[in-house]
Chains A and B, each alone.
Chain A
Amino acid sequence: MPKNETHVGSPHSRVDGPAKVTGTATYAAEFTTPDLAYAYIVESTIARGRITGIDAEAAQAVPGVIRVFTHENRPRTAWFSFKYKSMVGPPGTPFRPLYNNEVQYSGQPIVLVVAESFDVARHAASLVQVTYEQHPHETDLGRARQDSYVPPSKRLGIAPPPKPRGDAVKAFGEAPVRVSGEYTIATEHHNPMVSIRRRSPVIRPWRWQPRSCSRITA
């Protein structure tokens, strides 16, 4: 290694890299504790509409299933919007899982099956039957762009973006040589290696139990 090596632009190994790629690292979902319960989420299969019925009888009957939660039988949860928002969250009403029968997006969590093992929870979740009243939807961002939401320029607690300098549009228009094209980049997701979604005893703590982050125990 040269002495003047810089950290920017040169590859570095993660300290936990070898453990993770050899399978010896303990992931969040692999820690255990006595009487731990596991949950599996049933997601909406329509993009927009209303849930008209949830038949959880078969799921509830699977040995090892503790409880099947829906918007109809969930425990009392925080009422006010601000309980679900972070300080820097965007304006609007936050999404609340299992709040009511409204489906706002495809893949929305609508049922939570809690069981004594992950495998039982996952199997039972596959037995839940949901019926919907489907409403029209638009999932093509390109087509919906005309009607896109314009966020307020001033928001409490957040510094506004700096004022633009110069006039980029004018400068481009007057440029003697112009190169223009439309470039589309691939979708990129920030997926942490230790996902505590889905395959985890911790059930979306930042949404489900915003303040406690505790595991659901049987």
Chain B
Amino acid sequence: MNRFSYHRADTVEDTIKLLSADPTARIIAGGTNLVDLMKYLVETPSTLIDVTRIDALKGITETEDGGLRIGALVSNSAVAYDERVQARFPLLASAILAGASPQLRNAATTGGNLNQRTRCYYFNDPATPCHKREPGSGCSAIVGLNRIHAILGASDQCIATHPSDMCVGLAALAAEVHVAGPGGERVIPFADYHRLPGDAPQQDNTLQQGEIVLAVVLPQGGQGYAGHYSYLKLRDRLSYAFALVSVAAALEMDGGTIASARIALGGVAHKPWRRQEAEAALSGRAAETSAFAAAADLLLEGAVGHEHNGFKIDLARRAVIRALAQAATGTPQSQTDKRIA
């Protein structure tokens, strides 16, 4: 760990000022990822800006149009066990409970979950080349161990995945990310918040210098999916592991017919993976395997495996079909009894 200074911010404005002045400053809240990265010398911030005292970032509140606003500091546990979230956006609660451990979820925050870094082995090991950690140094994963890496949207510079479960749920629910920076506040659609690596894998998301996440807003429209959803996470062991493949599936049903669908994949790309064509293909179709398989094929179009992760393509296809079947029958994957139904 390097030597750093510590600043406790009282306001959002205070934070923005400090962040804008020093590109090597980092915001700290739960610290469940950042502190580890500092121990590995992956992150060597000059200053830590502790935002945990800022009231404006706290609490879950109703929005005017019937959605929910989740403050950036609200813990993952508080979101997952909030009665309004459980009743109206159970897919999000389920996705959160599929991740990490109770202790981590108690400490980890909503904003921090969005901004956590990849668990790519090489990103986390400063002794190896990594374009994301050190632009221009190379990618060890493309020629190395890549079992956990991306099959969609990767570039020749980076095949890392975004590790979050929560974000896969948020992507499917078409959440909005509210941010503030030197230029004022703005709203980023969830699909545009995280980015693909391209030739700038060091940028995980579209936050600009000096910007801070204020809140995540769940639009009212996501509530239509509360009856038919599932978050299916497949991993090397049933607990405390990152997804090899995860699926957030949500359907609006009209009898046995699908009125509309949302599908997002985790563990397969640099961001939660959604594709309009795949979702549109389900509209008006009967909820049956052939429709689910067609949607899975569209969602996975262009998937490319590397030496060790080719299995993910077929695994993802089957996981999409299974999650959609779970959603259609209103029997979501349990995150406590983790056996896959």
Contacts and interface: CB of A to CB of B under 8 A. Distances in A.
Interface of A: 21, 45, 119, 122-123, 126, 186
B1 A122 contact: yes
A87 B197 CA distance: 52
Nearest to B128: A45
A186 B1 contact: no
Contact of A126 (B1, B236, B237): B1
Contacts of B41: 126
Nearest to A44: B127
B336 interface: no
B5 interface: no
A21 B103 contact: yes
Given A45-B127, A186-B236, A186-B237, 11 more contacts: A21-B103, A45-B128, A119-B1, A122-B1, A122-B39, A123-B1, A123-B2, A123-B3, A126-B1, A126-B2, A126-B41
Interface in B10-43: 39, 41
14 contacts: A21-B103, A45-B127, A45-B128, A119-B1, A122-B1, A122-B39, A123-B1, A123-B2, A123-B3, A126-B1, A126-B2, A126-B41, A186-B236, A186-B237
A186 B3 CA distance: 37
A141 B259 CA distance: 50
Contacts of B237: 186
A50 B103 CA distance: 43
Nearest to B236: A186
Nearest to B103: A21
Interface string B123-145: 00001100000000000000000
Nearest to A119: B1
A45 B41 CA distance: 14
A123 B39 CA distance: 9
A45 B128 CA distance: 8
Contacts of B3: 123
Contacts of A119: 1
A11 to B, nearest CB: 13
A174 B3 CA distance: 68
B147 to A, nearest CB: 9
A45 B3 CA distance: 23
A126 B127 CA distance: 11
A21 B102 CA distance: 10
B180 to A, nearest CB: 34
B144 to A, nearest CB: 9
A186 B103 CA distance: 24
Contacts of B127: 45
B105 to A, nearest CB: 13
Contacts of A186: 236-237
Contacts of B103: 21
B103 to A, nearest CB: 7
Contacts of B236: 186
Contacts of A122: 1, 39
Of the candidates B2, B3, B127, the one having the most CB atoms from chain A within 10 angstroms of its own CB is B127
A126 B39 CA distance: 10
Contacts of B128: 45
For the complex of A and B, list the 4 residue pairs with the smallest distance between their C-beta atoms, beginning with the closest: A45-B127, A186-B236, A126-B41, A122-B1
Nearest to B241: A186
A122 B40 CA distance: 10
B161 to A, nearest CB: 17
Interface string B270-312: 0000000000000000000000000000000000000000000
A76 to B, nearest CB: 30
A122 B38 CA distance: 11
A119 B127 CA distance: 21
Nearest to B235: A186
A48 to B, nearest CB: 14
A88 to B, nearest CB: 29
Contacts of B1: 119, 122-123, 126
A51 to B, nearest CB: 14
Contacts of A126: 1-2, 41
Nearest to B311: A184
A164 to B, nearest CB: 32
A160 B308 CA distance: 36
Interface in B230-258: 236-237
